[in-house]
Structure 1
């Protein structure tokens, strides 16, 4: 058991087999939710040496695309209701996706409804450009995000 963690013993699931896909969109390609999922599923959890996929924080079904409105919605489910790392997870998703999708798409990142005690506050922080930019200017927070993104293979 690891001391000091909010969720010291998370449930860990097996990783699914990866489908070989391009890691960027080309021109007028349609935005594929499964392709987005494959791109972000290996982000490491800020507290554990497991991916968001392995902790079931993120799933294939948690990404939706509305081509007509040009919107991408990513919902994630923290492992516990009081997860202090929920905003860090959302920042990791946003940073990883920054150059992945066409610029005319609006990306919303939210915690799954009812999955976090401070759901409204977390969602507001993750979808406010100024708050996101300010958070990423914090060197310690930026380092944590970068560490989660650098660990793409487990």
Structure 2
């Protein structure tokens, strides 16, 4: 197989992974509204990027960018947590995941992104029964 063919196959593989990621997160329900993240334009397929992790065999780097509906959205961290949990529990390939708030779309996008990607904070949040219940409600499969 030539390098060009190998690169095309890798691109196709990454695009398949983008579609898989997007299909998992687009239907997550907003914690306050009876609408999905896709319906609210919090996430689109263009906001999902998947690439091969250089030098790590079959691992992938997955990056999801969220755009809150308002710049002062108090639920941005919770929505990011829902996205992270849904993907961690459902992706069937080895990956490193980053969930970020689109720069300039939220008053504290950097801080929120840092919280969403802090493994210890995520683990602690998922030990809170009330928060866990809310996350489970938001990420359940649509009926």
* TM-score, scaled relative to structure 2: 0.81
Q: Does 1:36 align with 2:21?
A: yes
Aligned to 2:117: 127
Please provide the CA RMSD for this pair: 1.9
The structure whose residues are more often helix, as a share, is 2
Aligned to 2:98: 108
Q: Does 1:47 align with 2:32?
A: yes
Contact 1:110 1:123 in 2 (8 A): yes
* TM-score, scaled relative to structure 1: 0.75
- SS of the residue corresponding to residue 100 of structure 2 reads strand
Unaligned runs of 5+ in 2: 1-12, 55-59
Distance 2:141 2:95 in 1: 27
Aligned to 1:67: 52
- SS of the residue corresponding to residue 36 of structure 1 reads helix
Greater C-alpha Rg? 2
Distance 2:95 2:25 in 1: 17
State how many pairs are aligned.
Answer: 126
